[in-house]
Amino acid sequence: MTDTLKKPWLGTPAGTIEILQKYGFHFQKKYGQNFLIDPHVLEKIVRAAGIGPDDCVVEIGPGIGTLTQYLACAAREVYAVEIDRNLIPILADTLSAWDNVTVLNQDILTVDLDRFVREHNGGKKIKVVANLPYYITTPILMEILGKKVPLDSVTVMVQKEVAERMQALPGTKDYGALSLAVRYYTDPQIVAKVPPNCFMPRPNVGSAVIRLTAKDEESRVEVRDEKMMFGLIRAAFAQRRKTLANALRNSAELQLSREQIAQAIQSCGLPEGIRGEALTLEQFAQLSDAFPSKE
């Protein structure tokens, strides 16, 4: 195979339409199919992900293989996980010039990524890159971040508002459970805003590329019981207009008494009427440690 054939050629409106027509492909709304058609955006994603010749990349939802072509040119190896079986023969065609790409016809939520990394990358860290299907952005990210998958970074296109929530700081309207989970596991950085005309079909919302650089376990905020901390965070933001104390008391999941809550809030030096949205990640960790251990 010559190098000229190995150049990405799909990320344009004409290239995409040609492939869609050749295969009579119809977009499936239920799978969040909005394909990228702008080479500048594609290059920006690969640059932001910092993909180099030693990298093993997992791409979620390759679609017709547009971003995959760019990734295959930059990485050592690419595993592309696509749920829609109608796309599999198309991917075999559009990726035929690259022998470092493996396509898996699977739902990403059913892939055991930890096992996958052990088997395919000798347990070394992978990079996840995707133009994510917007209908399941949060479940996919929580699945990847919450599991102990050896991870270098996750660079993804998401709905602009979701990217802003991921990067939000305490006291802002966008700050919530997602911001805290993302900050616990990673350092987030929005790297580009992307308008609807960079996709086919055009989504009804603006998009953004965000890079989440994974933190090693040692550099995460220290907390005795991660589960307890995330339970507190969920409860605090389930009723974000209520005081932290009331939100925690109303949580069926936590089952904490009024006295336990008041004591914990006080021992952290927080005002009685504080709302959860004012607490930093460090303060949630401190609050979590202020409750008696369940073990």
- Residues within the interface to ligand SAM (CB under 6 A): 31-36, 60-63, 66-67, 81-84, 87, 107-109, 131, 133, 136
> How far apart are CB 108 and ligand SAM at their closest, in Å?
4
Structure tokens at 52: 């180099």
**C-beta of 133 vs 231, nearer to ligand SAM:** 133
**C-beta of 45 vs 281, nearer to ligand SAM:** 45
Which one, of 26, 115, 44, lies nearest residue 79 by Cα? 115
**C-beta of 134 vs 221, nearer to ligand SAM:** 134
> How far apart are CB 98 and ligand SAM at their closest, in Å?
15
Sorted by sequence, the CB contacts under 8 Å of residue 167 that are 6+ apart come out as 179, 182, 188, 189, 190, 210
> How far apart are CB 167 and ligand SAM at their closest, in Å?
21
> How far apart are CB 60 and ligand SAM at their closest, in Å?
6
Structure tokens at 71: 């990734």
**C-beta of 83 vs 229, nearer to ligand SAM:** 83
Q: Are 144 and 160 in contact (CB under 8 A)?
A: no
> How far apart are CB 233 and ligand SAM at their closest, in Å?
25
Burial of 142 (0-12, 13-18, 19+ CB in 10 A): middle
What's the rounded Cα separation, in Å, for the pair 100 and 83?
A: 20
Q: Which residue is nearest to ligand SAM (CB)?
A: 61
DSSP SS3 for 159: strand
**C-beta of 46 vs 261, nearer to ligand SAM:** 46
